[in-house]
Amino acid sequence: MIPSFITLSPATAVPLIAITGFIDGIHPCAIAILVFFIAFLLTLQRSFKKIFALGMVYVFVIFLTYLAIGVGLLSGIMFFGQHHFFAKVGSWLLILLGLFNLRDIFLPQLKLGIKLPRVSNDKIRELLSTATFPTVAIAAFLVGLCSVPCSGGIYAAITALLASQTSFFTGFLYLLLYNFMFVLPLIIILAISTNPYTLVKLGDWQQRNKKSQKIIMGVAMIILGAGILIFIV
């Protein structure tokens, strides 16, 4: 077994948590739904204030949902006490999910991909199309839950790592940072999408670059998982 020789000090943890949270936040699942949602509101000719308010409800509920998942996972790992074991499991899971992302690109004939379920995807779009605060909140909650298999590999590994090297309170603070960075891409998209032309271009770019996004995410997951295994746990 390779011994750990890098401790998770604040100087190491803050950039690691911030960067991985942001990378996790650019997965196609939640971003595609937000682009669809804003485009729909623009077709209804809602005011920027209304679009921004509904969009922030969507983003905030995803933030709370992911934070709750992380806190539950952190608590569970700390309760069982096998911190390093779970960190290693999370790291190997991260590498496996990274390989799944790459397999979707290079071996698409194997139908074992991890993505937002079609049934939930249709339900989320149906809820968003009503454009009310309660339905947007419910849709965002479903996005948060259903996107965990799609993008939660990084989150699981980071949470297990925090459980292995921090106290619960410190880990919770790091989870706040992680989840803020996770929703930051959505906030940026929401801020720039008030221009219909920009929104159309953003949607086109997202469709054109789905493969690139998956490759980047897959490689990042593998490198991060391997790095945690080799240098930290």
Per-domain boundaries in the chain:
22-232
- Which residues lie closer than 8 Å to 2 by C-beta, 6 or more apart? 229, 230
Q: Which two tokens stand for residue 76?
A: 């569970």
Prediction pTM value: 0.77
Residue 209: DSSP 8-state: T
Measured CA to CA, the distance from residue 222 to residue 75 in angstroms comes to: 25
Measured CA to CA, the distance from residue 48 to residue 114 in angstroms comes to: 35
* Spatial contact of 142 and 124, defined as CB atoms under 8 Å apart: yes
Q: Return the top range by mean pLDDT from 119-123, 142-146, 174-178.
A: 174-178
Query: With bands split at pLDDT 50, 70 and 90, how would you rate the model's confidence at 146?
Result: confident
pLDDT of 83 strictly over 80:
no
* Spatial contact of 126 and 37, defined as CB atoms under 8 Å apart: no
Give per-residue pLDDT as tens, 104-121: 666 665 555 555 555 566
Give per-residue pLDDT as tens, 204-225: 776 777 777 777 777 877 887 7
Query: Of 89, 77, 60, 85, which is closest to residue 182 (Cα–Cα)?
Result: 60
Mean predicted lDDT score pLDDT of the chain: 78
